[in-house]
């Protein structure tokens, strides 16, 4: 198992420790490099900037992607470690030393779930081979002595945390199995669905990223999971129609458009052009494609049944 120790600043750590979120975006100000060190589910630890040479928490890696900062904010909000979008942009520019010419800079996003933030007495001194000139981070392997010792220190702290004790007892799971079972948050769901559909609308093929939205097939408020197979990436107008039961997708992956659009609005020619067609875009991985069980749920409970209003939280 690989372990990544990523360098971060104290403000980011302190803000998120107080927030205690279910997921975080460990972002890098440069959006030019992909992070390929970890598999999903492997541990990603936080190390503060020198001279605070301690590992102070971490999380479990889900996915790395590159997003405009506006979309990263839309997906994760304060789970980016700042209070608002203005502060987020200012923090990015401070680290990049950017001019005002980049209104929506791309950032590298490492999405982590089950984050943990230790109190100071639990902090772990950096391993003996940590070099002072490390800027971004360093990987370890639990098959090697230093990595094994570090992981044992982490597990000792998991034993004190009821949320993470199962990891200590059962051992870590990573790769495809982890993504299938992980308790993903809303932000991770949105990013994974966006990536799975190659940043294109599943029905129309639209590529304009700001108008694309990750839709739950069976809504979270009706016990639908944050899972890619329960998601579709849809253009915003199609997302609204899908949620309100005017549009659905059959288990055979064909689009159906309700006659209610014509009856209620005397319009809808553009939408009826999609009726009967197969989805324009599908995830490459079969496990990420829309699951028949969720599509059947939408067909039976939402399509032409008044949409999601019946499942809205009181």
pLDDT at 310: 41
Please, which pLDDT band fits residue 314 given cuts at 50, 70 and 90? very low
Q: What digits encode the pLDDT tens for the residues 128-139?
A: 999 988 989 999
Which of helix, strand or coil describes residue 198? coil
Domain 2-181 architecture: Roll (2.30)
pLDDT at 161: 85
Q: 172 near 1, Cβ under 8 Å?
A: yes
Q: Comparing 170 with 125, which gets the higher pLDDT?
A: 125
**Beta-bridge mates of residue 25:** 111
pLDDT at 101: 54
Q: Comparing 266 with 313, which gets the higher pLDDT?
A: 266
In residues, how long is the chain? 314
Per-residue pLDDT at 306 exceeds 60: no
What's the sign of the alpha-carbon dihedral 224, 243, 22, 59? positive
Q: For residues 74-95, give the mean pLDDT.
A: 93
pLDDT at 114: 92
Per-residue pLDDT at 235 exceeds 50: yes
pLDDT at 267: 85
Residue whose C-alpha is closest to residue 118's, from 57, 159, 167:
57
Q: What is the pLDDT of the chain when averaged over all its residues?
A: 90
Q: What digits encode the pLDDT tens for the residues 51-72?
A: 899 999 999 999 999 999 999 9
Per-residue pLDDT at 122 exceeds 80: yes
Residue whose C-alpha is closest to residue 185's, from 209, 214, 155:
214
Q: Comparing 205 with 307, which gets the higher pLDDT?
A: 205
Q: Are β-strands 247-249 and 255-257 bridged in parallel, bridged antiparallel, or unpaired? A: antiparallel
Q: What tokens does 200 get?
A: 């294109």
Please, which pLDDT band fits residue 231 given cuts at 50, 70 and 90? very high
Q: Cα angle vertex 105, ends 100, 111, to 5°?
A: 145
pLDDT at 163: 80
Q: What digits encode the pLDDT tens for the residues 109-121?
A: 999 999 999 999 9
Q: What tokens does 267 get?
A: 């319009």
Q: Cα angle vertex 304, ends 313, 216, to 5°?
A: 50
* H/E segment holding residue 10: helix 10-19
Q: Are β-strands 137-141 and 212-216 bridged in parallel, bridged antiparallel, or unpaired? A: unpaired
Q: 46 near 6, Cβ under 8 Å?
A: yes
Q: For residues 120-130, give the mean pLDDT.
A: 96
In whole angstroms, what is the distance from residue 170 CA to residue 152 CA?
14
Please, which pLDDT band fits residue 181 given cuts at 50, 70 and 90? low
Per-residue pLDDT at 299 exceeds 90: yes
Please, which pLDDT band fits residue 263 given cuts at 50, 70 and 90? confident
pLDDT at 311: 40
pLDDT at 255: 96
Q: What digits encode the pLDDT tens for the residues 9-46?
A: 999 999 999 999 999 999 998 877 889 899 999 999 99
Percent share of the chain, pLDDT over 70: 90
Per-residue pLDDT at 265 exceeds 70: yes
Per-residue pLDDT at 199 exceeds 50: yes
* H/E segment holding residue 114: strand 106-117
Per-residue pLDDT at 2 exceeds 80: yes
């Amino acid at each position: 198992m690989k372990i990544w120790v990523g360098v971060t600043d104290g403000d980011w750590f302190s803000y998120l420790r107080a927030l205690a979120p279910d997921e975080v975006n460990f972002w890098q100000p440069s959006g030019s490099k992909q992070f390929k060190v970890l598999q999903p589910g492997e541990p990603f630890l936080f190390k503060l900037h020198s001279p605070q040479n301690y590992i102070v928490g971490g999380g479990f890696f889900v996915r790395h992607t590159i997003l405009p900062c506006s979309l990263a904010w839309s997906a994760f909000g304060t789970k980016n470690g700042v209070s608002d979008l203005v502060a987020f942009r200012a923090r990015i520019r401070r680290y990049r030393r950017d001019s005002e010419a980049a209104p929506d800079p791309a950032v590298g996003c490492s999405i982590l779930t089950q984050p943990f933030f230790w109190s100071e007495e639990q902090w772990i001194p950096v391993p003996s081979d940590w070099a002072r000139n490390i800027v971004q981070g360093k990987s370890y392997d639990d098959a090697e002595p230093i990595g094994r010792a570090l992981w044992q220190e982490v597990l000792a702290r998991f034993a004190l945390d009821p949320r993470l004790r199962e990891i200590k007892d059962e051992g870590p799971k990573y790769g495809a199995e982890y993504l299938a079972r992980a308790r993903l948050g809303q932000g991770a769901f949105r990013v994974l669905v966006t990536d799975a559909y190659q940043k294109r609308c599943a029905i129309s093929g639209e590529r304009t990223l700001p108008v694309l939205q990750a839709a739950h097939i069976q809504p979270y408020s009706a016990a639908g999971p944050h899972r890619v197979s329960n998601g579709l990436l849809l253009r915003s107008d199609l997302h609204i129609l899908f949620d309100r039961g005017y549009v659905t997708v059959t288990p055979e992956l064909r689009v159906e458009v309700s006659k209610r659009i014509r009856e209620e609005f005397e319009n809808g020619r553009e939408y009826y052009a999609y009726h009967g067609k197969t989805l324009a875009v599908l995830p490459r991985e079969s496990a990420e494609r829309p699951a028949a069980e969720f599509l059947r749920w939408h067909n039976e409970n939402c399509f032409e049944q008044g949409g999601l209003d019946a499942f809205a939280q009181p």
